[in-house]
Structure 1
Amino acid sequence: MPRDLTVILEDQPGELARLGEVTGEAAVNIRGLAAFTGEGRGVIHLLVDDGEAKRCRDALEAAGIGVADSREVLVVDLEDRPGTLGELMRELADANANVELAYTTFGSNAHPGATVVIATDDLDAARAAVAR
């Protein structure tokens, strides 16, 4: 399963470039990214394959970049049509899986719709709901 790493950076020019350089040098493929700033800090969510998560964390921490959290996430491909996000979120809500984090990933020619990364308080219930 893919993992989401929560990374804390200073909110200043070059920090995201440094993160990209460190992960690139460690041969970690970043499959998705969400970035937010506030109160002088940047909070970055990185989507990586489970097999690369430890290498990514180790490389970031060795470079002095803090990793606040690492957790398994659900990655769902959506059709490219109106309403699919609402349908997915309704399935999760009906399964009583509270969405704690959601963002989209980098696009690909293989899948023209959106790919959504989701962290919930009940990953098993979320997986079961999406599998229906």
Structure 2
Amino acid sequence: MPKDLTVVMEDRPGQLAMVGETLGKAKVNILGGCGFTSLGRGTLHLLFDDKSVDAAKRVLQQAGITVQGDQDVLVQKVPDQPGALGKLARKLADAGVNINLIYLATDTRAVFGVSDMAKAKAALGGK
């Protein structure tokens, strides 16, 4: 199952470069992600497949980069058309699933952190 890693760092130049270089040197591929800053801190959400997530955590921590946590995520293909994301979100809402994380990944895929993975998968057709 794909995993989202939450990485926390100082909000200053070069931090994202350090993360990318660290993972690149270890040959760990990032499948998607998003980032934001607030109150002097930067937070990254990075998507990895289940085969590389442990290596990602290890090399980041060895480089002194804080991995705050990880979570299983649902990666869902989203048609590149108006309203497509809304339709997926509505299916999850109607199934009683809360979305606590959303970002887009490569190849028009959406990454969802959800309150109930089994319900979310069932709501979206078991994918």
Q: What is the root-mean-square deviation of aligned Cα atoms in Å?
A: 0.9
Distance 2:77 2:114 in 1: 17
Distance 1:97 1:129 in 2: 9
Q: Which runs of 4+ in 1 moved over 3 A?
A: none
TM-score with structure 2 setting the length: 0.96
1:29 partner SS: coil
TM-score with structure 1 setting the length: 0.92
**Does 1:120 find its partner at 2:96?**
no
Structure 1: any 5+ residue segments left out of the alignment?
Answer: 108-113
Q: How many residues align?
A: 126
2:51 partner SS: helix
Deviation at 1:105, TM superposition (A): 0.8
1:6-58 superposed Cα distances (whole Å, 9 cap, x missing partner)? 00011000000000000111111100010000111100000000111110000
Distance 1:68 1:21 in 2: 19
Greater alpha carbon shift after TM alignment, 74-83 vs 58-67: 74-83
1:56 partner SS: helix
Identity over aligned pairs, percent: 45
Structure 2: any 5+ residue segments left out of the alignment?
Answer: none
